[in-house]
Chains A and B, each alone.
Chain A
Amino acid sequence: MNKQYDDEVLRVEDLTVYYETDEGIAKAVNNLDLVVRKGKTVGLVGETGSGKTTTALSILRLIPDPPGVIKSGKVILDGMDIYSLTEGEMDMVRGFHASMIFQDPMTALNPVMTVGDQIAETLRIHEGLNKADSIAKAQEMLKVVGIPPERAKEYPHQFSGGMKQRVVIAIALACQPKLMIADEPTTALDVTIQAQVLREMKELREKFDMSMIMITHDLGIIAQMCDEVAVIYAGRIIEFGELREIFKDTKHPYTQGLFDSLPKINDDRDMLQPIPGLMPDPMELPEGCAFAPRCKYATEKCNQVIPPKHYFTDTHYAACWRYEDPEFKL
């Protein structure tokens, strides 16, 4: 369990989510703990299938059920115990207390509704504004994300990819949620557009004093956007810490492996150092540390028992057995 803070916006405790299908049980998220403090951005970094999106969806109770089942856990968002709310209360929570931005802006927008109406609709539902007010506010929101307000009357297909993602952000921000969950918000965009959108998100985050969970596989975006980083592997956070702790004082062999396999703009290594092998199938997770089969430091113990969190500082931990040995270094 994580430390208690006074300014927590989100607290996830012991979250376990399985997908139960005919072919077996995929253990997508396993005993995950996470705390997001006010005004902070936590980066959730991991590879495809590591459970980062499932975690995000579970926070807003958006897991498709079936096959998704929340096996255990507690989510406290803005003081509310999410899993004890009714479906109706949940509708108010989504968008009002926390909202989510998805990777593909096209699927998040309704193609037959003008973007202005889509933003206004959110405002009418959550803030009870009347039609004229909601439209006026919608135009204001467009301005906030850098779109000329007169474009409120246009339809999603008239916007480019980057512009669409801004519209999605405008909808997510419309009710000024305390927490924004962004799931790979710029993966579908070109780098120069990505830079624009990320810059926009940074400004808005400060303007609205929002907390954020930034889900991405791109360590560059993490370095640019986040205050704290959670590295997730096979449904567990294997290393957590403040940005510099993760980047400058990397502890977990997997995190190190991610950095080593990254081609960097400013180095001339002839060969990269990939992590050997693949992430384990979530239906057949190893008994011990999920990374042990690919880890060059693994011992017999790593293969048998799941490692507990090992704290290096108040904020920085790694789930790795090897740090039992005080001499151990990567």
Chain B
Amino acid sequence: MSEHLLEVNHLKKYFKTGKGTVQAVDDISFTLDAGKTLGLVGESGCGKSTTGRTILRLLEPTDGQVIFEGKDIAKLKPAEMRRMRQEMQMIFQDPFSSLNPRKTVEELIGEPLKWFKVHKTKAEQKEHVAKLMDIVGLAPRLANVYPHELDGGRRQRIGIARALALDPKLIVCDEPVSALDVSIQAQVLNLLKELQKEYNIAYIFITHDLSVVNHISDDIAVMYLGQIVEKAPSKELFTNPTHPYTKALLSAIPIPDPDLQVEQIPLKGEISSPINMKRDCHFAARCPYATEVCLASTPELVDRGNEHFVACHLF
């Protein structure tokens, strides 16, 4: 029995395409304890969403282990996997397309309860849904309303309510607030935090927004082209970023304070796509400090003390 709630070991997810093999997730390892949040940060195409989906086995892993409560879910049979889904849920980015437009709020929130036949009678399920709506702050009068009649914030609350319905131990949140306006975003982030405290849920929080991830995460892993390049407790990562990519990423965030404009570290070019990658440091092509060593081999993620892991030849 492992002491961690979730242990991901050397997880890989490759896609075969006409142009070659896309190494969307390429050898990722991390652990997550109950009630904690791991932020998974990176730019589009870095494989952060694919990682989240592979952990939940919405995509079949190509290689590696995903050990959840001591069981390698990558090896579970489909029926066992379905049972396991009660413990691990997901909140999606787009609160519009992740809700079936033909179902009412009540049906949407009741969906997981229906699949697992949690309640024997409709009345019981109705009561449970009402309780969930109360928890996430949806007024009872909205039960028979369709999602298109609601604003983004309320739609995302539906997504949260049904992720909570089965009392999961882990929720993968895929950019849950990036489609929302700041004032609404803050409401939803606060809700997620409160729920975590109340129900001891672990989150994998996938986002491209570093300020959001700082606010909600205990640990943060920065991804670049399918690999984790740096991982550290939030505070440590923000006060002492080490990997050149993390530094550039942090310096690129526009700070909402005219007196606090930091010097940006310019990056060359743009993120490429992870097709048929060489065994080099994937960031070398854009790195202002790259040397020959960087082109020769892929750096390992090494502990630099204080739980701070960095994958860079130069540090």
Contacts and interface: CB of A to CB of B under 8 A. Distances in A.
Interface stretch (A126-134, A256-264, A321-329): A256-264
17 contacts: A47-B181, A190-B43, A190-B270, A191-B43, A195-B264, A196-B266, A224-B254, A244-B259, A247-B257, A248-B258, A263-B186, A265-B238, A265-B255, A268-B235, A270-B193, A274-B185, A278-B184
Contacts of B259: 244, 248
B9 interface: no
A223 B264 CA distance: 15
Nearest to A163: B270
Given A223-B256, A224-B254, A265 B214 contact: yes
Given A223-B257, A262-B256, A265-B253, 19 more contacts: A48-B152, A48-B181, A160-B270, A163-B270, A190-B271, A191-B43, A191-B249, A195-B266, A199-B266, A218-B256, A220-B256, A222-B256, A248-B259, A261-B186, A262-B186, A262-B211, A265-B210, A265-B255, A274-B186
A86 interface: no
Interface residues of B, number: 43
Q: Which 6 A-B pairs have the closest CB atoms?
A: A220-B254, A261-B186, A274-B186, A219-B256, A263-B215, A190-B43
Contacts of A247: 256-258
Contacts of A196: 266-267
Contacts of B248: 192
B212 interface: yes
Interface string B179-217: 001111111011001000000000000001011101110
B78 to A, nearest CB: 36
Nearest to A162: B270
Interface string B236-278: 0010000000001111111111111100101100110000000
Interface of A: 47-48, 160-163, 190-196, 198-199, 217-224, 243-244, 247-248, 257-266, 268-275, 278
A70 to B, nearest CB: 26
A195 B238 CA distance: 19
Given A190-B208, A262-B211, A195 B256 contact: no
Interface string B150-188: 011100000000000000000000000000011111110
Nearest to B189: A272
B183 A244 contact: no
Nearest to B44: A190
A30 to B, nearest CB: 20
Contacts of B238: 265-266
Nearest to A188: B44
A278 B150 CA distance: 11
B254 A273 contact: no
A228 B250 CA distance: 25
Contact of A272 (B215, B254, B258, B264): B215
B187 A274 contact: yes
Contacts of A220: 253-256
A272 B214 CA distance: 12
A269 B189 CA distance: 12
Contacts of A268: 235
B211 A264 contact: yes
Contact of A258 (B182, B267, B270): B182
Nearest to A46: B181
B181 A191 contact: no
B13 to A, nearest CB: 21
Contacts of A221: 254
B255 A257 contact: no
B18 to A, nearest CB: 16
Given A261-B183, A271-B193, A191 B261 contact: no
Contact of A195 (B183, B189, B215, B252): B252
A294 to B, nearest CB: 9
Given A191-B43, A191-B249, A272 B261 contact: no
Nearest to A220: B254
A239 to B, nearest CB: 15
B267 A272 contact: no
A213 to B, nearest CB: 17
A194 B248 CA distance: 12
B252 A261 contact: no
A169 B210 CA distance: 27
Contacts of A271: 190, 193
Contacts of A264: 211, 255-256
Contacts of A161: 270
Contact of A191 (B186, B187, B208): B208
Contacts of B251: 195
Contacts of A192: 43, 248-249, 252, 267, 270-271
A274 B183 contact: yes
B145 to A, nearest CB: 15
Given A190-B43, A190-B44, A261-B186, A224 B181 contact: no
Nearest to A195: B252
Contacts of A160: 270
Contact of B256 (A48, A259, A270): A259
Given A217-B182, A274-B186, A278-B153, A263 B252 contact: no
B62 to A, nearest CB: 25
A194 B184 CA distance: 23
A274 B184 contact: yes
Nearest to A244: B258
A278 B260 CA distance: 30
Nearest to A159: B270
A224 to B, nearest CB: 5
A47 B193 CA distance: 23
B208 A198 contact: no
Contacts of B257: 223, 247
B178 to A, nearest CB: 10
Interface string B262-302: 00101100110000000000000000000000000000000
